[in-house]
């Protein structure tokens, strides 16, 4: 695997971009997403005081971060997978997860945007406003990157299916294919075995004749038990 060509692949670039976007979502929420409440020392979520919004954003970004790292390792080792079934499962896993996370990023973007619009202005809100806007912005970018990853995974799945069918057709055609023999006069001997013409065996150098005084023929037996009969000429 060439590292340069692997790094330039669109799928690799999309995974790296999604990995960076995930950090840009859960990082600001973890660092500045909780501010002091106006009525007490307790901390509250900057998104309208809804702790579920902060937890959802952190979980979504952290899950995307780990998934991008795992799928990058899978892409590196993908060419080493010899089983066609395992490759198909890997592509299906990529397709399913990318589609699911695209939907979750859309839900997260809408949820965080809605909660931020309902947030009342205050000292804590002004302090953590940049972190909230950064999380919302990169949530939107994450939708685009994960949708692109879903499309790439779908293309890989279709391409792999077509190639599998093509290979099956080729193997099926080759299994029943017969090959003609060498043409006559080509100078190449075939694999057939030929038998000698009949009656070409070497005769015994000293055949034993069986004369018959009362018969008009003379019989000779050869080595291979062939019997040859000669007529006797009258004297």
Contact 218, 209 (CB under 8 A): yes
Report whether pLDDT(177) > 60: no
Answer yes or no: is pLDDT of 205 > 50.
Answer: no
Q: What confidence score (pLDDT) does residue 122 get? A: 77
Half-sphere exposure of residue 204, counting CA atoms within 13 Å on the CB side?
13
Task: Please give the model's pTM, rounded to 2 decimal places.
Answer: 0.66
In angstroms, the CA 13 to CA 40 distance is: 46
CB 146 within 8 A of CB 108: no
Helix axes 84-117, 51-77, angle to 10 degrees: 160
Distances 190 to 177, 183, 186, 187, 193 between C-alpha atoms, Å: 19, 9, 10, 10, 8
Domain ranges, ordered by start, for the chain: 3-169
Is the pLDDT reported for residue 207 higher than 50?
no
Local structure of residue 225 (DSSP, 8 states): S
Residues 37, 136 contacting (CB under 8 angstroms):
no
Confidence of residue 125 (pLDDT cuts 50, 70, 90): confident
Q: How confident is the model at residue 126 (pLDDT cuts 50, 70, 90)?
A: confident
Q: How confident is the model at residue 64 (pLDDT cuts 50, 70, 90)?
A: very high
**pLDDT band with cut points at 50, 70 and 90 for residue 226:** low
**Neighbouring residues of 140: CB distance < 8 A, sequence distance ≥ 6:** 109
| Dihedral sign (CA 45, 51, 53, 58) | positive
217 backbone dihedrals φ, ψ, rounded to 5°: -145, 165
């Amino acid at each position: 695997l060439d590292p340069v060509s692997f790094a330039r692949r669109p799928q690799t670039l999309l995974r790296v971009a999604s990995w960076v976007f995930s950090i840009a979502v859960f990082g600001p929420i973890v660092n500045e997403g909780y501010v002091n409440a106006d009525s007490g020392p307790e901390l509250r979520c900057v998104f309208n005081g809804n702790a579920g919004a902060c937890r959802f954003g952190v979980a979504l970004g952290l899950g995307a971060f780990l998934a991008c790292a795992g799928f990058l390792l899978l892409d590196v080792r993908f060419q080493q997978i010899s089983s066609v079934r395992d490759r198909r499962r890997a592509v299906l896993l990529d397709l399913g997860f990318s589609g699911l996370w695209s939907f979750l990023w859309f839900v997260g973007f809408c949820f965080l945007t809605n909660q931020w619009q309902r947030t009342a202005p205050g000292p804590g809100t002004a302090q953590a406003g940049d972190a909230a806007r950064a999380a919302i912005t990169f949530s939107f970018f994450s939708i685009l990157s994960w949708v692109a990853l879903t499309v790439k995974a779908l293309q890989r799945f279709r391409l792999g299916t077509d190639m599998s069918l093509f290979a099956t057709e080729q193997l099926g055609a080759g299994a029943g294919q017969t090959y003609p023999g060498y043409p006559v006069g080509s100078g190449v001997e075939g694999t057939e075995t030929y038998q000698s013409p009949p009656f070409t065996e070497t005769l015994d150098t000293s055949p034993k004749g069986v004369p018959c005084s009362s018969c008009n023929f003379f019989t000779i037996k050869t080595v291979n038990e062939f019997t040859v009969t000669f007529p006797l000429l009258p004297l």
